[in-house]
Structure 1
Amino acid sequence: MTEVLENRLRAIEDKLAIYELIASHPPSADTGHAAYTLSVYDEDGVFDRGPTLDGAKGARNIAAFIQRPEHDEAIRGGLAHFAGLPLVDLRGDQAIATSYLMIIHLDHQGLPRELPNHGVSTGYRIHRTVVNRWELERRDDRWIVKKRTLLPVDGSAIHQNLLRKALDEKYSF
């Protein structure tokens, strides 16, 4: 009985740690906090942004993405990454987490609108919605990112296959 409870508690702790890791990505990306990226990616980690965007290999190169002048310009323009709750598939010291991410920014060309008790805003625009596959490994009692695949939700088979794969692997269909 004790071993069963310990295993259940370990699974809960693992999922919470993975949720926190993924939930920390938007604040780090939206502030250009490269030290966070360096701390969560494997030194040989992979950031695969699909067939239409450049990617990177290695924690330092991945962290460099959020230090680009273009990224800083996006941050200053009102960039916000909005993450959905991930589907987590625990596999001992390995895990796969699949999630959605919306890239939102302040709509500088929108018409000013007032919302009672919330002031005036030109609104926000959803720039892109993507699917993420986070391939994770437990190391020294913490989870690190071995590979992150990010694909645009564009109606293509490639992003739908990534989502299907997550369900098939998690639930063994």
Structure 2
Amino acid sequence: MSGVEERLAALEAEVGRLADERAVTRLVLSYGPLVDSGSADEVAGLWEPDGVYDVDELFMAGREQIAAMVRSTGHQDWIRGGCAHFAGPPHVTVHEDEATAVGYTAMVVRDGERFVLRRATANVWRLRRGPDGWRVVTRTNRLLDGRAESRALFADALGAAES
């Protein structure tokens, strides 16, 4: 392979990696607007059919349970009352057809005439590329309330040692 061919192959690989990171980022960042609009089927469609969404107080296995959470009275009450599931930009790592996205989410709710932070969470998304693009295999959220489990979730996902 010539120098030009090697450089072109390296450039194509880098563009492919960046496209994958962008696709994963877009999927992760679509969750908030979809869940806040009550789009249950679209939210569930972000996951693999047997995907898992593990939140502190709720464990959902499969698209049906994820869609049911969005349709639930509790979630619908949050939407009607005014809320925003805000996600910070994720740290995305792609390895071939597997990806990990690590980041923060905050749930902001309306309280009278003001908005308040209801919860802030550590998030780790594990995704897989399939015939229909990237889908969530597991998403784990842990409340950032000082517990070691939340710090460990971040450290494990990023391959860092917790101090």
Q: Distance in 1 between matches of 2:75 and 2:132?
A: 32
Offset, 1:38: 2.8
Alpha-carbon RMSD across the aligned residues, in angstroms, is: 1.2
1:37 aligns with 2:43: yes
Q: Distance in 2 between matches of 1:101 and 1:143?
A: 20
Instruction: Please identify, of 123-132 and 1-10, the stretch whose mean Cα deviation from structure 2 is larger.
Output: 1-10
The letter for the 1-side match of 2:101 is A
Match in the other structure for 2:119: 128
Q: SS of the counterpart of 1:46?
A: strand
Q: Which runs of 5+ in 1 are unaligned?
A: 109-121
1:100 aligns with 2:108: no
Q: Distance in 2 between matches of 1:66 and 1:31?
A: 9
Q: Distance in 1 between matches of 2:154 and 2:42?
A: 27
**Which deviations, in whole Å up to 9, do the C-alpha atoms of 1:26-56 show, x marking residues without a partner?**
0111011012123211011011113xx0211
Q: Which runs of 5+ in 2 are unaligned?
A: 1-6
Stretches (4+) displaced over 6 A: none
Aligned residues: 154
Match in the other structure for 1:63: 67
Q: Distance in 1 between matches of 2:133 and 2:25?
A: 12
Offset, 1:68: 0.3
The share of aligned pairs that are identical, in percent, is 33
TM-score normalised by the chain length of structure 2: 0.90
Give runs of aligned pairs for residues 1-173 of structure 1, distance below 5 A: 1-50=7-56, 53-108=57-112, 122-140=113-131, 142-168=133-159
